[in-house]
Chains A and B, each alone.
Chain A
Amino acid sequence: MAKPQQNCLRAVFRSSATCSSWRLLPIASYRSFSVLNRPPPNYEGHVPLTRVERAGLAFGSALWSFFDPTRADLIAALGEATAQPYFITRLRNAMLVSPTGRRILRDRPRLTSQTLNLDYLRSLPTNTVGRAYITWLDLEGVSPDTRDTVRYIDDPECAYVMQRYRECHDFYHALTGLPIMREGEVALKAFEFANTLLPMTGLSIGAVATLKRPERERFFSVYGPWAIRNGVNSQEVINIYWEEELENDVDALRERLGIEKPPDLRAIRKAEREKKKREKASNGSL
């Protein structure tokens, strides 16, 4: 079939324009296959999907996770189903351009409870990256091991990039200071979309429709513009070697990357809650 080959050659030339590596040759996974004769996996746990399956997974997971956002595995599947062929390759190329990104791709570090010493992180001073990270984890009640493994991305290196992005998500919470509630997650996804261009992050902004009215207004007036502005202007957050930044100050890191600290969402929400309580009390006393 000429068409898919033309498309992937076009992608090769476009992406190789930004980097001079010729490793981006089309691989066997671009050849079409049916569900009855899948090609062998490229890495452990890999499931090569046909185009129809990928579309089905994208639609199914998008719809189901819209109504049930606690299904993190579906959001992960949505990310994998929509990242190919262009977006995850673009992200990997962005890593290849930066020296730190290249080191990450060579070392392929993983963020798990074995590789990170969680107790040591808890002992760090308050405004360090490591301490902020473990605070978010403890608040959410998860360990770094609860992130799903990447399965549906065909190229092993791009699969690692996706896995790295997924594992760094909690670090982005620490970096931006956005809390884990729905409002904070949507704002963080907007920031990630502006920075990484992964389609799943853009689609997740659709969750704005499920926010309450004052939250939605805050998003469109404050956090949305903040996210787009900072996501576009800052350096690629995928290139941060988090394992080396654990003891650094969060504010210093933010300055280095070119990210403004957003208004403290927790404080704003708390102030609003108190205001409502006072209004209710004063109305009740009338």
Chain B
Amino acid sequence: MNNSIPRIVRRANRIRRLRPEQIQQSYRCFSCSIRHAQQQTPRPDESPRTTHFGFETVAESLKQSKVAEVFSSVASSYDTMNDLMSLGIHRLWKDHFVSSINPGLNPLIHTPSPSSSSTSAPTDPLRILDIAGGTGDIAFRILDYTTTIHNDSTSHVTVADINPSMLSEGQKRASKSPYANTGRIDFIEANAEQLSTIPSNSIDIYTVAFGIRNFTSIPTALREAHRVLKPGGLFACLEFSKVQNPVFDAVYKRWSFGAIPLIGQVVAGDRDSYQYLVESIERFPKQEEFSRMIGEAGFLIPGGGGKEGEKGGWEDLSGGIAAIHKGIKPAGSGIAAVGGGSV
């Protein structure tokens, strides 16, 4: 379109710099990277533990690199594709997710009084960890919410993502946002199953939006979330889930498996990444099972779990296309969270 000429030049330059032995790695196409990854078969002495990658079964050690290829490939067109695939509704989901967490410590309510006893903890600024949040959709919404609704300008968000391409998209947006030099947002490259740079009992709110289905081992990620959260801290997860109504489900499945890879092909030139995305949605456990997994990791499910609704373990969005799951780390010894979020 109107930027086609610089695109021709950029593409020609990129191709000119290719040498034949490098062409295979520089391919943006997903199917070539799958072939490349499949040629690296796991060594026989490695444990043959497998996990799912969409509808394929792969060795656990390969899944991470395969997911990495998917997200490096989709990073630049991520926002456009999200809008096209969900017809813009993903924005409403994310807005609702953040407002249902209700983050923020109003400074008028939460300043420690001079006569407070020495045993009560001073009010630290809220520390929020957004996992798999590369492009910053949730992080920026949280910062906006705390600043505008609760007048809280001290809360801090750390955006962690395993994929550098997604992180750099997020950093680009951060530099253009009002939070550019405020020190309220940090980007770190980290694996959600091994958050080695984040100390235990240090996070007030742990959020993960549309990321957890890509993890190699969900229980490991849940246990790691449990570790880094302060007692009383909130675990909140927004993820695709099972549609309850069977008629709507039939339509939704046909849209997922028919239209979405096609849109991926036409808009992004990459059918396979979007085929993986819809398959990974299909493979993700349903609401009851995921709620049970959260409980098994040591979280308390608000309302006791097992059913949907305000008192239940999860909240369905758009008829079950997406769902918000929450859990609270039980309060115990250690620095308690001040309750800067809500369930």
Contacts and interface: CB of A to CB of B under 8 A. Distances in A.
A141 B31 contact: no
A73 B264 CA distance: 12
A53 B266 contact: no
B7 interface: yes
A51 to B, nearest CB: 11
Contacts of A74: 266, 269
Contacts of A209: none
B176 interface: no
A35 B31 contact: no
Contacts of A84: none
Contacts of A70: 4, 7-8, 11
Interface string A39-59: 000000101001011001100
B199 interface: no
A36 B254 contact: yes
Nearest to B270: A73
Interface stretch (B13-21, B92-100, B114-122): B13-21
A53 B269 contact: no
A220 interface: no
A222 interface: no
B262 A57 contact: yes
A163 to B, nearest CB: 14
A71 B4 CA distance: 10
Contact of B18 (A56, A140, A143, A149): A143
Interface stretch (A60-68, A92-100, A246-254, A255-263): A60-68
Looking at chain B, what size class is its interface with the partner chain? Answer: 20 to 34
Nearest to A149: B31
Nearest to B278: A35
Contacts of A77: 265-266
Interface string B1-39: 100100110011001101010010000010100000000
Given A57-B265, A142-B15, A52 B23 contact: no
Nearest to A114: B20
Given A70-B7, A73-B269, A142-B15, A45 B258 contact: no
A146 B15 CA distance: 9
Chain A binding surface SS class = loop
Nearest to A37: B257
A143 B11 CA distance: 13
Contact of B20 (A34, A53, A141, A143): A143
Given A60-B266, A143-B23, A68 B4 contact: yes
Interface size class of A (residues with CB under 8 A): 20 to 34
Interface string A124-164: 00000000000000001111011011010000000000000
Most A-side CB within 10 Å, residue of B12, B267, B269:
B269
B31 A45 contact: yes
Given A61-B266, A70-B7, A56 B259 contact: yes
B150 interface: no
Given A35-B257, A70-B11, A145 B23 contact: yes
Contacts of A151: 271
B286 interface: no
Contacts of A233: none
A35 B266 contact: no
A113 interface: yes
A35 B269 contact: no
A17 to B, nearest CB: 36
B253 interface: yes
A141 B15 CA distance: 6
Contacts of A73: 265, 269
Interface in B236-259: 253-254, 257-259
Given A73-B269, A77-B265, A143-B20, 5 more contacts: A47-B271, A57-B266, A71-B269, A145-B23, A148-B29
12 contacts: A57-B265, A57-B266, A60-B266, A64-B266, A64-B267, A68-B1, A68-B4, A73-B265, A141-B12, A143-B15, A143-B23, A151-B271
